[in-house]
Structure formats: structure tokens, C-alpha cells
Amino acid sequence: MIQFNNVTKKYGKTRALDDISLDIGKGKITGLLGPNGSGKTTMIKLITDLNKPSSGEVLIDQEPITQEVKKRIAYLPEIDHFYPWMKIKDAKNFVKTFYEDWDEILYEELLGFLELDENMGIKKISKGQRAKAKLLLAFSRRADIILLDEPLSGIDIFTREKIIETMIKDYREGEQSIVITTHEIKEIEHVIDDAVFLKQGKIVLQGEVEALRAEKNLSLVELMKEVYGDGKEF
């Protein structure tokens, strides 16, 4: 579904991605895994067309990423993207204006599931609540592709569990594709289908999670330590 064909991305003299080729399958949950600076966010930004490859190409269903293709993507960035004056309902109205796949019934259901009130002011709520609010807006769309950039970063374990529950709650297996970047591998090991380990802009290990476990006789966390050393970055 999502193809990286010999993709290199440079920022000045730095290669954030170095000749990456990868197929991300339709209808699966794929983890882009690795420490900060390994190239995970750069890959996400190329899929959203926020950045362009220095060389190579990124395709979705064998098509370039046009405005029409981008309508099929829901993107949750790591940084906050709300205006401080907004309430959650203001952010909702802003998003639903742009996307025909908005599902108001699903929004109401997730609002309760995530224990949020749409009259909450963005600048007054906690970091964990903001993380859940971002997730609410991403998953209230019936998007074909959902991109989650470090959704677990810097939040408490209870909020992490709620975020992971939300990821799989209405997941349309076989139809919807979710790509999650994280270095919090332990928390997502049980939900991802495919794993892609990145290091210094290169893919160092990839495959179906069950196949990797069986081949190596290791958990993903143990594989992480094998790939990256003692794993202190995690």
C-alpha cells in the first residue's frame, strides 16, 4: 500500500534516510521502531507529503501523493497542533470541515471512551489529556491510513494503555493501515503486525512480528537490545 522506493532524504549534509526501500502492507499495524534520530519521523512526513524525498519516490497504492490521496490519511504529529484558544469541540469542528470521512457517531463514542469533555480548553488540560485529544481527532475519521508519530512519548502509563486500547478498538483489520513510530517498543509489541527497525536512516531489520520472534526466539524488546546494543536510549 505504502511504498518507499530507494528513498534518500537529506537535510544539508545530514542523511536522515539513506536509500530506503520498503513496502508497508494494507490492513496492518506497522511499527517504525528505533531511537530518536533514526529516521522514523522523516518517513512519516514523507508519507504525508510534508517533506519531499531528496531522491527516490514514495507512493500510495502505486500513485504519487496528490491532494486527493492525502485526503485518505489521518496524521497525528508528535508536537501539539492545536491553537491554544481552542476547546476540544473547536478542534473537532476545524478538522471535520476538511475531511469528508469524519464520523460524528464514532467521535461521540471515543469522547466517552477516552474520558474527555469536548468543552475542555486545550491550554488548560494535562499533557496526557492533550495526547488523548489528538488521538480522538485522528481516530474519529474513517481514514484508510492513520499515521501516529510518537503517540506514547512523555505520558503516563495509564494514558499509554488507553491510547493503545483506542488504536485497536475500531481498527478495521484488512482495510485500514496504521503506522506508528515509537521507541516505546514494550508497550506496542502485542498490537503491531509488522516491525521495521531503523538505525541512522537505514533499515536494519524488518518483518512480521511473529516470524521475527520465531526466527530469533526473542521478544521485540530483546531484538531491540540486539540491534541497538544495551537499549539505554529506550
pLDDT tens per residue, range 132-157: 999 999 999 999 999 999 998 888 88
Q: What number of other Cβ atoms are within 10 A of residue 51's Cβ?
A: 18
pLDDT tens per residue, range 101-138: 999 999 999 999 999 999 999 889 998 999 999 999 99
Is residue 212 one of the residues assigned to a domain? yes
Is residue 170 one of the residues assigned to a domain? yes
Question: Confidence class of residue 230 from pLDDT cuts 50, 70 and 90?
Answer: low
Query: Are the C-beta atoms of 6 and 65 separated by less than 8 Å?
Result: no
Q: What is the CATH number of the domain that holds 41?
A: 3.40.50.300
CA–CA gap between residue 76 and residue 180 (Å, rounded): 10
Residue 22's pLDDT is 97
CA–CA gap between residue 138 and residue 140 (Å, rounded): 6
Report whether pLDDT(234) > 70: no
CA–CA gap between residue 107 and residue 122 (Å, rounded): 17
CA angle 127, 131, 132 (to 5 degrees): 120
Task: Residue 19: give the domain boundaries.
Answer: 2-228
Report whether pLDDT(8) > 60: yes
Grid cell digits, residue 207: 518483518
Is residue 233 one of the residues assigned to a domain? no
Domains of the chain: total: 1
Q: Which of 43-47, 158-162, 183-187 has the highest mean pLDDT?
A: 43-47
Is residue 234 one of the residues assigned to a domain? no
Residue 168's pLDDT is 85
CA–CA gap between residue 88 and residue 95 (Å, rounded): 11
